[in-house]
Structure 1
Amino acid sequence: MKGHGPDSLSPETKISAVILDLDGTILNTEKATESVLEEFLAKYGKEVDPGKEENRLGQMHNESAASIVKDYDLPLTASEFSKEIMPMYTARWPNAKALPGANRLISHLHKHKIPFALASNSKRENIGEKLSHHKGWTELFSVILGSDQVKSGKPSPDLFLEAAKRMGVDAAHCLVIEDSLVGVRASKNAGMKVVAVPSSVRLADCYSIADCVLHSLLEFQPELWGLPEFKDWVQNALPIEPLHVKGLLSGIPNDSSVPLSIIPDRATAVSLPDQVSGVYFGWAILSTHGIFKAVVSIGWELRGGIANRVIQACLLGEFDKDISGEQLELWIVGYIRQLCSEANASTAFEIFPEDKSNAEAALDLPIFSYDEDLPIFSY
């Protein structure tokens, strides 16, 4: 993937406003609703084709509906398909959580009075419904636009150009943050700078037209775009909204210096956002050993076009027996850094001594402390 910012940013192209996509960029809608199409197609004796669905990422609903009906040879019109499936989607929207770094970015832009808009290929009514489940989001955006409010949705530039117009900012001074290729193309068609945070890991190498490609919003550095930098790091650690991981430990017994693999349970595999990538830390609860500090690397490994989630953890403590195969519950409360270069898969997920030292020190601070009475630890 590309680096974190442009090679150079001339005064003529200084960023004055930011435009965010919604689904897959700041809201984990895909995870919350990913089983909907599978359940719907099963009623017609059909199975989901993951490749076809990846290619539909970012499309407008009407366009997507027509292609689904055609691709799966459904005995429905696109309108009938939409009428049947939309209630299934809307029922899941309350479960869609903010993606890591989304609330941080929104609060940061608002605090520094940077105009920022939401421009989505969803209909405006549906955007409003999704936003209603996230306190403050509707009020904080300078502009909120859906595809039904312009002549053409993405990849047409209409949405982004209209957002810029309503904010009173020239398109050349806008930075777009997108997760889909459709959105990235729309951004470039509008003459804007664009940061891509791909929601499809397998397609990440296809985002070469973006000015910058990141794994996660936690990697975004606004100062590289002439925007105020984040000042929320605590020593060498970034507080994040807690992530919950459960699974089985697999690896070398009785050696805290060697990372253990975590085989996630189904709930974790379904709920953990694809955009969670990097080296994190938190609290590990072992079924027979109690609570330990932990450093965790999370990312994706691509082999033969197939993406596999990789989760490795170093538990900062000593064990008097083999813990491999034990049940583990992990609360991730902080972020340290992005993963190493993925050119060498064997070292991409490596956890360094410095990571352990940073995690050890951070977890002694009140902001990262473990308290079983807190709501985040009450599952």
Structure 2
Amino acid sequence: MSLEALIFDVDGTLADTEEAHRLAFNNAFERFRLGWKWNQDAYRELLKTTGGKERIAAYLATKTMSAAERKRLTEMIPAIHAEKTKFYSSFVADGNLPLRPGVQRLIEEALAAGCRPAIASTTTAANVDALLTSTLGPRGIEMFSVIACGDQVRAKKPAPDIYRLALQHLGVEADRAIAFEDSHNGLLAAAGAGLRTVVTPTYWTEDHDFSGAAMLLPHLGDAQRPLEGEPGTLLQDGAWLGYPELVRRVCERPLCEVGALYAGAA
């Protein structure tokens, strides 16, 4: 089979961004004098809801208040989220969020092989642009053939809409692409679009259910951060996931297993 595209999630997959998002939310809450503060444990639970505005709405639903106050705060959600995005973009611009190990290496290997990288994320285009420019430089955005973001679809992950949109713009069938995710909702979204998926969890998602992933690794690995115990445990070619092994190992996974994953959880 010819592999034509690698489709990456952003938050947690390209970079471990969630702590920066958490701090940005808290700064926005302080700016609006809401008296809210999300600690790491609370935010880990809130991450089960995809999308920043949706996350605020989910948190608001847990609070006891009058109908009038609930209406007022609900109407403020877009403004709160816009302020949060400004704080997050500032954090990223300061260069404090590096890509996870092996991400840039694998993207460059794919490009050299004629395979097109793409993005399918529930975050905003502004957040994606800020991260790519900060980590990959001025040409970072150009390295991706398609950048599909959450505001472009009606339903966010775990719905498969964002991956279907990315595949549509790429002009690629699902069996000729591989998704990269870090969360259960992301895995369900990719599987729902018929994609085989490589999962690399973080602290925020390490307790999620990843049964059905084509490959599960702590990270992609590189010469500076080789995967412990490799080759020989999960990989055959080396201590990091290289493009040739990705094609050989992941593309062997039957697509029927991918469909069964989504059907069982939808």
Equivalent in the alignment of 1:230: none
Is the aligned partner of 1:111 residue 2:112? yes
| Partner SS state of residue 206, structure 2 | helix
Is the aligned partner of 1:16 residue 2:4? yes
| Partner SS state of residue 92, structure 1 | helix
Amino acid at match of 1:128: D
Is the aligned partner of 1:70 residue 2:61? yes
Equivalent in the alignment of 1:197: 200
- The normalised TM-score by structure 1 is 0.51
In structure 2, what is the Cα distance between the partners aligned to 1:48 and 1:144? 29
**Greater C-alpha radius of gyration:** 1
Deviation of residue 32 (structure 1)?
3.5
In structure 2, what is the Cα distance between the partners aligned to 1:99 and 1:39? 25
Is the aligned partner of 1:88 residue 2:87? yes
Equivalent in the alignment of 1:56: 46
* Preserved CA contact (<8 Å) 1:119 1:146: yes
**Any stretches of 5+ residues in structure 2 without a counterpart?**
231-266
Is the aligned partner of 1:139 residue 2:153? no
Deviation of residue 84 (structure 1)?
4.0
Rate the CA distance shift 1:151–1:70 in 2: closer, same or farther, 3 A.
Answer: closer
- The normalised TM-score by structure 2 is 0.70
Rate the CA distance shift 1:35–1:72 in 2: closer, same or farther, 3 A.
Answer: farther
Equivalent in the alignment of 2:240: none
In structure 1, what is the Cα distance between the partners aligned to 2:210 and 2:46? 15
Rate the CA distance shift 1:156–1:170 in 2: closer, same or farther, 3 A.
Answer: same
Rate the CA distance shift 1:117–1:70 in 2: closer, same or farther, 3 A.
Answer: same
In structure 2, what is the Cα distance between the partners aligned to 1:184 and 1:55? 17
| Partner SS state of residue 15, structure 2 | coil
Whose relative contact order is higher, 1 or 2, with alpha carbons under 8 Å and at least 6 apart? 2
Amino acid at match of 1:56: L
Amino acid at match of 2:78: S
Amino acid at match of 2:228: Q
Amino acid at match of 1:99: R
In structure 1, what is the Cα distance between the partners aligned to 2:56 and 2:26? 14
* Preserved CA contact (<8 Å) 1:151 1:158: yes
Rate the CA distance shift 1:170–1:216 in 2: closer, same or farther, 3 A.
Answer: same
Deviations 1:2-61 (A, max 9, x none): xxxxxxxxx5xx643210111211123224344333455565444425344223337122
**Any stretches of 5+ residues in structure 1 without a counterpart?**
1-10, 219-237, 240-333, 341-379
In structure 1, what is the Cα distance between the partners aligned to 2:229 and 2:41? 26
Report the structure, 1 or 2, having the larger strand content: 1
In structure 1, what is the Cα distance between the partners aligned to 2:128 and 2:111? 20
RMSD after superposition: 2.7
* Preserved CA contact (<8 Å) 2:27 2:84: no
Deviation of residue 336 (structure 1)?
4.2
| Partner SS state of residue 117, structure 1 | strand
Amino acid at match of 1:90: S
Rate the CA distance shift 1:144–1:86 in 2: closer, same or farther, 3 A.
Answer: closer
Deviation of residue 186 (structure 1)?
0.2
Q: 2:228 aligns with which of 326, 335, 338?
A: 338
| Partner SS state of residue 175, structure 1 | strand
Amino acid at match of 2:43: E
Deviations 1:72-124 (A, max 9, x none): 56963323432443322222122322111111111111111112211111122
How many equivalent residue pairs?
A: 215
Is the aligned partner of 1:182 residue 2:185? yes
Rate the CA distance shift 1:153–1:336 in 2: closer, same or farther, 3 A.
Answer: closer
Deviation of residue 207 (structure 1)?
1.5
Equivalent in the alignment of 1:29: 17
Deviations 1:132-178 (A, max 9, x none): 22312211111111122233322221211121122221112221001
